[in-house]
Amino acid sequence: MKVQAPEYIAGIKPYVPGKPMEELEREMGIRNSIKLASNENPLGPSPKAMAAVQKELRKVNRYPEGGGYYLTRKLSEKYNIPPENMVLGNGSDDIIGMLTKAFLQPGDEAIMPFPSFLMYEIMVQVAGATPVMVPLSLFAIDLDAMTEMVTEKTRMIFITHPNNPTGSIITENDFCAFLKRIPEQVIVVLDEAYIEFVRDSSSLYSLSHLKTDARIVILRTFSKAYGLAGLRIGYGFMDTRISSLLHRVRQPFNVNTLAQHAATAALDDIDFLEKTLALVHDGLDFSYTVLDRMGLSYLPSQANFLMINVGNADLVFQKLLQEGVIVRSMTSYGFPDYIRLTIGLKSENERFFKALEKVL
Ligand X SMILES: Cc1ncc(COP(=O)(O)O)c(C=O)c1O
Question: Site for ligand X (CB under 6 A): how many residues?
Answer: 13
Residues 182-201 that bind ligand X (CB under 6 A): 191, 193
Residue of 160, 257, 287, 342 that binds ligand X (CB under 6 A): 160
Question: For residues 85 and 116, which CB has a smaller minimum distance to ligand X in the complex?
Answer: 116
Our measurement of the distance from residue 286's CA atom to the centroid of its chain's CA atoms, rounded to an integer in Å, reads: 23
CB 259 within 8 A of CB 228: yes
Whole-number Å distance between alpha carbons of 112 and 114: 7
- Cis amide linkage into residue 113, ω under 30° from 0: no
Site mask for ligand X (CB under 6 A), range 47-76, x = bound:
------------------------------
Does 302 contact ligand X by CB under 6 A? no
Question: For residues 93 and 269, which CB has a smaller minimum distance to ligand X in the complex?
Answer: 93
Residue of 164, 264, 276, 304 that binds ligand X (CB under 6 A): 164
CA distances to 121, 140, 177, 189 from 182, in Å: 20, 19, 9, 12
Residue of 91, 115, 227, 236 that binds ligand X (CB under 6 A): 91
Whole-number Å distance between alpha carbons of 264 and 191: 21
Please identify the residue of the shown chain whose CB is closest to the bound ligand X.
Answer: 91
Alpha helices in 295-327 (DSSP H): 313-322
Whole-number Å distance between alpha carbons of 62 and 54: 15
- Cis amide linkage into residue 162, ω under 30° from 0: yes
User: What is the closest distance, in whole angstroms, from the C-beta atom of residue 295 to ligand X in the complex?
Assistant: 29
Residues 104-143 that bind ligand X (CB under 6 A): 117
Residues 208-267 that bind ligand X (CB under 6 A): 221, 223, 229, 234
Question: For residues 338 and 353, which CB has a smaller minimum distance to ligand X in the complex?
Answer: 338
User: What is the closest distance, in whole angstroms, from the C-beta atom of residue 61 to ligand X in the complex?
Assistant: 26
User: What is the closest distance, in whole angstroms, from the C-beta atom of residue 60 to ligand X in the complex?
Assistant: 21
Q: Of 53-61, 88-96, 204-212, 276-284, which segment contacts ligand X by CB under 6 A?
A: 88-96
Residues in contact with 255: Cβ distance below 8 Å, sequence separation at least 6, in sequence order: 64, 68, 71, 88, 89, 90, 232, 233
What are 342's strand-pairing partners? 305
**Spatial strand order in the sheet of 187-191:** 86-89, 234-237, 216-221, 187-191, 154-160, 109-114, 130-135
User: What is the closest distance, in whole angstroms, from the C-beta atom of residue 254 to ligand X in the complex?
Assistant: 12
Residue of 72, 92, 260, 349 that binds ligand X (CB under 6 A): 92
Whole-number Å distance between alpha carbons of 262 and 215: 30
Residues in contact with 101: Cβ distance below 8 Å, sequence separation at least 6, in sequence order: 126, 127, 249
Question: For residues 117 and 237, which CB has a smaller minimum distance to ligand X in the complex?
Answer: 117
Question: For residues 257 and 304, which CB has a smaller minimum distance to ligand X in the complex?
Answer: 304
Residues in contact with 186: Cβ distance below 8 Å, sequence separation at least 6, in sequence order: 150, 154, 155, 156, 157, 215
User: What is the closest distance, in whole angstroms, from the C-beta atom of residue 158 to ligand X in the complex?
Assistant: 9
Residue of 33, 39, 154, 206 that binds ligand X (CB under 6 A): 39
User: What is the closest distance, in whole angstroms, from the C-beta atom of residue 179 to ligand X in the complex?
Assistant: 20
User: What is the closest distance, in whole angstroms, from the C-beta atom of residue 229 to ligand X in the complex?
Assistant: 5
Q: Of 86-94, 132-140, 146-154, 337-345, which segment contacts ligand X by CB under 6 A?
A: 86-94
Query: Among 90, 106, 64, 99, which Cα is nearest to 249's?
Result: 99
CA distances to 8, 120, 217, 264, 309 from 157, in Å: 20, 10, 10, 30, 29
Q: Of 87-95, 169-177, 202-210, 259-267, which segment contacts ligand X by CB under 6 A?
A: 87-95
What are 338's strand-pairing partners? 309
User: What is the closest distance, in whole angstroms, from the C-beta atom of residue 4 to ligand X in the complex?
Assistant: 30
Question: For residues 257 and 342, which CB has a smaller minimum distance to ligand X in the complex?
Answer: 342
Instruction: Report the DSSP pairing between strands 216-221 and 34-35.
Output: unpaired
Residues that bind ligand X (CB under 6 A): 39, 91-93, 117, 160, 164, 191, 193, 221, 223, 229, 234
